[in-house]
A and B are shown apart, each in its own frame.
Chain A
Amino acid sequence: MSISLLLVSYSLLFLVSFSFLLFIYLIARRIVVQYQENAFQKKYAAIETDILDIVAFPERHLAEKTAEKYKSQPHVLTKVLVNYIEQIEGLAREQLRKIFDKALKEKCLRDIHSRRQIKRLKATHLFVIFSEPSDSEHIVRLLNDKPIVKLVAITALSRIPTSKTLDYIFQSFVNDSIANARVYINIMFGLGGKTESHVKKHLHESLSLEKLGLLIELIGAIPLRSLYRDILPFAEHRDKEIRIKVARALGHMRIPASLDVLIKLSDDEAWEVSAQALKSLGKLGDMASLDVLARSLFSPFWHVRFNAGHGLASFGSAGFKRLKKIQKQKKDRFASDMATMVLDETIYVGET
């Protein structure tokens, strides 16, 4: 028998055996998984019944008993708790948290120090749901972990918004790479008004343009109206992206005093800034901006015309009058077309 024949024969034998074993594994695994799923469902149903009792009668304080009863089934218990705690408030929620503390917390604390990243990650995810102020010292340690764990740890910290944890979050935002910056902003957004003093402090620090822009965007998104005066100087920033974000934030904040700044921005050299400022003027709804919006419908830039048209529509009848007038004029077909479209959409769809 030649070497090539021998090689092919052995390869074939190996592949056939491997394929056969894989086939057996697939089938056996499916059977086992189905069995496990059935068992899981049964356990889940049993735990769920007890949890529903606790939720229905939280004053009976059954949490400790339930925790003790299901301590040996952490996986199923975790699932049930995760599924219920987000839907429940008040005393019942406290009872569920108590079950977590009694039955699962110790394991979680062990797991966040585990060598295996996945264990750390899963445990940290649970702290996002169940964390309380005393846990912050454990979670803070994860801020030096791998990015995926670190970001979950930040989220967990955001659920215990003390001044100290906010310091950690903002400091991480400043030190972390720009790639993660938006995740921080999403977390900070969830914290709402509690971030005010920290945002104010960091707004005046030397941040990268991207991070500065995101903070300004955050001020508008929450919105943090008390920081209105803090973002005004940025309306004259040399970077157009920053000016766009200021215009957007002012639109969200709807502070009447911002009219002049927005009118000035609507005349910006960059059409992107101008378009955003017009959108914000529409949101602000000050009649004094009608002329600016109507004039902007004659801009050579499509986006500027689009936002000006929709801005006018948001004023209701006063805006419609202007739009109809522009629709009828013949000098600028593009302005007329845009006015036609905005009127058409507003009438049919109710979009403004």
Chain B
Amino acid sequence: MDGILGSAFQVVTGIILVYFFLINSLYLLFIFLSIMGIFRYRNAMAYVSFKDIFQMPLVKPISIIAPAYNEGRGIVESTKSLLSMEYPLYEVIVVNDGSTDDTLEKLIEAFDLKKSKRVFRKTLKTKPLKGIYISPSNPKLVVVDKINGKKSDAINAGLNVSRYPLFCGIDSDSILEKDSLLKMVRPFVESPEKTVGAGGIVRLSNGCKVKSGQVVKVELPHNSLARFPILEYLRAFLGGRIGMNMLKSTLIISGAFGVFRKDIALKCGGYRTASIGEDMDLVVRMRRFLHEKKIPFKLEFIPDPICWTEAPETIKTLAKQRNRWHRGLVETLYHSRVMLFNPRYGVTGMFAMPFYFVFEMLGPVIEVAGYGIFTVLLIMGQYNRPFVILFFLLAVVFGILLSLLSILLEEYSARRYPRLKDIFIIIGYGLMENILYRQWLTLVRAKSFFDLAIGKKEWGEMEKKGFALESQKQ
């Protein structure tokens, strides 16, 4: 291959190699920083009783907002879990976002809900509300029934109805550990003026035993497909997010579990209903607002509080989920593109946004390009066979190394998988993910650009087993 085409191939190959080197160096840096972060947190918390926080006079109350769409199977169990949290003062607002199943009926029956005539301040525009229900037996619980408007709209409705200065957005199919709010609120107690948001670790509940709305025994998912994301979650939360937090660059606080200051979220217009990745979008817009107003702020990621959520167990739902996540990322970065490489936005504009743009957003495209070039060279017979094979092996081994380091982080932090056998299995899946699974996910993520271009907005509903069923089976 000579001439312009050959040069172009060489340039693209060079870009891919530089990209490979940079991304892996950054991931290693994040893991190194995460180890430091975990040790720092662990040491700072030695002999600290979170019960003390319970007694502090200035701990702000929290509104937990859980949007629910067709969650009939597990809604009662997860609402019970939310109502049993250890926290001085909080309310649970479940927003039934126009479910077509029996979500609302189950809630009414289980908590003896009565229709309320509550009036609220409609700060954020949302789809019309059909009713607000309160429970005489559980004064902490408020159920909002509304016309379907997707997740962001549902949380905004919950924000309108909420009464407290902090809010915790969670997925209604998630389970929070009893003391997770107490742990999450620490930065708000220690630095209430600066802290605008805090995120915690999200773990997969598939396979775990759930009793009375709490995970009582941690086990690996029985479904093979749900085992792959375990490592991905470890890498993302323990490696990526703690590392990014150490660099003051937290850009994602998972929608499954995050606490925010309500006044700041409202000033930013709440959740953007047009957004696909509403959790990241809110954090990015909050950062943008705070930078523009020159308000000093902190967004914290805390390695300890844990939220359990279900992972997809079929290829179709997993593909939908990942496709939506990537569409959300692209759409959010595009929406806030003014921040990219803009020194006005400090570390957000000069590091966090560019990192997500180059390595997270463009990552699948570059990876697919790499596979494409390799295929073309293979067909044309113009490749350095030993180099290509060794380079492929290098990429695989690097991936395995990152996975092993993530497991190390897990061992240093929560160590939630108690059996040695579990570690072997996770490592085994870490090896296997390099064959087909990873490539398939790359394609799914790359396809999201196409889906976004053709205007695909659908959320990608997930088939869920629900904790109630899961626990009944045990």
Q: Which residues of A contact B (CB under 8 A)?
A: 2, 4-5, 8-9, 11-12, 15-16, 18-19, 22-23, 25-27, 29-31, 33-34, 82, 86, 118, 121-122, 125-126, 128-129, 148, 178-180, 182-183, 185-186, 189-190, 210, 217-218, 221, 302-303, 334, 337-338, 340-341, 344-345, 348-351
Q: How far is the CA of A341 from the CA of B192 in the complex (A)?
A: 31
Q: Mark B13-47, 1 if CB is under 8 A from A, else 0.
A: 00000000000000000000000000000011011
Interface residues of B in 365-401 (CB under 8 A from A): 384, 386-387, 390-391, 393-394, 397-398, 400-401
Are the C-beta atoms of A338 and B398 separated by less than 8 Å? no
Are the C-beta atoms of A179 and B423 separated by less than 8 Å? no
Q: Chain A: which residue is nearest B415 at the CB level?
A: A33
Q: Mark B291-325, 1 if CB is under 8 A from A, else 0.
A: 00000000000000000000000000000000000
Task: Supply 11 A–B pairs (Cβ within 8 Å), ascending by A.
Answer: A16-B397, A31-B420, A125-B47, A182-B192, A189-B57, A190-B55, A221-B58, A344-B118, A348-B116, A349-B139, A350-B136
Binds A, one of B148-156, B404-412, B458-466: B404-412
Are the C-beta atoms of B119 and A337 separated by less than 8 Å? yes
Q: A8-B391, A12-B390, A179-B193 are in contact. List 14 more A-B contacts (CB 8 A).
A: A8-B390, A19-B401, A30-B420, A86-B49, A118-B46, A121-B44, A122-B46, A125-B47, A182-B192, A183-B189, A186-B57, A340-B119, A341-B117, A341-B118
Counting chain B CB atoms within 10 Å of each CB, the highest count among A122, A178, A344 belongs to A344
Q: Does residue B1 face the partner (Cβ distance < 8 Å to A)?
A: no
Q: Does residue B83 face the partner (Cβ distance < 8 Å to A)?
A: no
Q: Distance (Å) between the CB of B428 and the closest chain A CB?
A: 11
Q: Chain B: which residue is nearest A214 at the CB level?
A: B58
The 8 A-B pairs with the shortest beta carbon distances in the complex, nearest first, are: A125-B47, A221-B57, A337-B119, A302-B121, A344-B117, A349-B139, A118-B43, A186-B56
Chain B hits for A210, CB < 8 A: 193
Q: How far is the CA of A221 from the CA of B56 in the complex (A)?
A: 10
Q: How far is the CA of A86 from the CA of B51 in the complex (A)?
A: 11
Are the C-beta atoms of B390 and A9 separated by less than 8 Å? yes
Which of A125, A182, A337, A341 lies in contact with B189, CB distance below 8 A? A182
Counting chain B CB atoms within 10 Å of each CB, the highest count among A25, A179, A221 belongs to A179
Chain A hits for B57, CB < 8 A: 185-186, 189, 217-218, 221
Are the C-beta atoms of A348 and B192 separated by less than 8 Å? no
Chain A hits for B116, CB < 8 A: 341, 344-345, 348
Are the C-beta atoms of A183 and B47 separated by less than 8 Å? no
Q: How far is the CA of A212 from the CA of B117 in the complex (A)?
A: 40
Q: Does residue B2 face the partner (Cβ distance < 8 Å to A)?
A: no
Chain B hits for A30, CB < 8 A: 411, 420, 423
Chain A hits for B401, CB < 8 A: 15, 18-19, 22
Chain A hits for B420, CB < 8 A: 27, 30-31, 34
Are the C-beta atoms of A217 and B58 separated by less than 8 Å? yes
Chain B hits for A22, CB < 8 A: 401, 404-405, 408
Q: Does residue B114 face the partner (Cβ distance < 8 Å to A)?
A: yes
Are the C-beta atoms of B56 and A189 separated by less than 8 Å? yes
Are the C-beta atoms of B190 and A182 separated by less than 8 Å? yes
Decide: A349 near B49, CB < 8 A? Known: A8-B390, A118-B43: no
Q: How far is the CA of A345 from the CA of B141 in the complex (A)?
A: 12
Q: How far is the CA of A15 from the CA of B116 in the complex (A)?
A: 63
How many interface contacts (CB-CB < 8 Å) are there between A and B? 125
Chain B hits for A221, CB < 8 A: 57-58
Q: Does residue B191 face the partner (Cβ distance < 8 Å to A)?
A: yes
Chain B interface category by residue count: 35 or more
Are the C-beta atoms of B44 and A23 separated by less than 8 Å? no
Which of B48, B192, B397 lies in contact with A15, CB distance below 8 A? B397
Decide: A19 near B134, CB < 8 A? Known: A125-B46, A189-B57, A348-B116: no
Q: Does residue B194 face the partner (Cβ distance < 8 Å to A)?
A: yes
Q: Chain A: which residue is nearest B405 at the CB level?
A: A22
Q: Distance (Å) between the CB of A129 and the closest chain B CB?
A: 7
Are the C-beta atoms of A8 and B394 separated by less than 8 Å? yes
Q: How far is the CA of A180 from the CA of B190 in the complex (A)?
A: 7
Q: How far is the CA of A185 from the CA of B59 in the complex (A)?
A: 11
Q: Does residue B427 face the partner (Cβ distance < 8 Å to A)?
A: yes
Q: Distance (Å) between the CB of A303 and the closest chain B CB?
A: 8
Chain A hits for B411, CB < 8 A: 26, 29-30, 33
Q: Mark B434-447, 1 if CB is under 8 A from A, else 0.
A: 00000000000000
Decide: A351 near B49, CB < 8 A? Known: A15-B397, A19-B397, A22-B408: no
Are the C-beta atoms of A349 and B404 separated by less than 8 Å? no
Chain B hits for A18, CB < 8 A: 401
Interface residues of B in 55-71 (CB under 8 A from A): 55-58
Which of B56, B121, B136, B193 lies in contact with A349, CB distance below 8 A? B136
Q: Chain B: which residue is nearest A220 at the CB level?
A: B57
Q: Does residue B135 face the partner (Cβ distance < 8 Å to A)?
A: yes
Decide: A121 near B194, CB < 8 A? Known: A19-B400, A26-B407, A189-B56: no
Decide: A183 near B190, CB < 8 A? Known: A26-B404, A341-B116: yes
Which of A31, A185, A348 lies in contact with B114, CB distance below 8 A? A348
Decide: A5 near B387, CB < 8 A? Known: A23-B427, A186-B58, A221-B57: yes
Which of A5, A303, A340, A351 lies in contact with B386, CB distance below 8 A? A5
Chain B hits for A125, CB < 8 A: 46-48
Q: Chain A: which residue is nearest B47 at the CB level?
A: A125
Which of A12, A178, A345 lies in contact with B397, CB distance below 8 A? A12
Chain A hits for B427, CB < 8 A: 23, 26
Chain B hits for A9, CB < 8 A: 390
Q: Distance (Å) between the CB of A243 and the closest chain B CB?
A: 19
Are the C-beta atoms of A179 and B400 separated by less than 8 Å? no
Chain B hits for A118, CB < 8 A: 43, 46
Q: Distance (Å) between the CB of B426 and the closest chain A CB?
A: 10
Q: How far is the CA of A118 from the CA of B136 in the complex (A)?
A: 49
Q: Distance (Å) between the CB of B32 and the closest chain A CB?
A: 13
Are the C-beta atoms of B47 and A126 separated by less than 8 Å? yes
Q: Distance (Å) between the CB of B49 and the closest chain A CB?
A: 7
Q: Chain A: which residue is nearest B39 at the CB level?
A: A118
Q: How far is the CA of A208 from the CA of B411 in the complex (A)?
A: 45
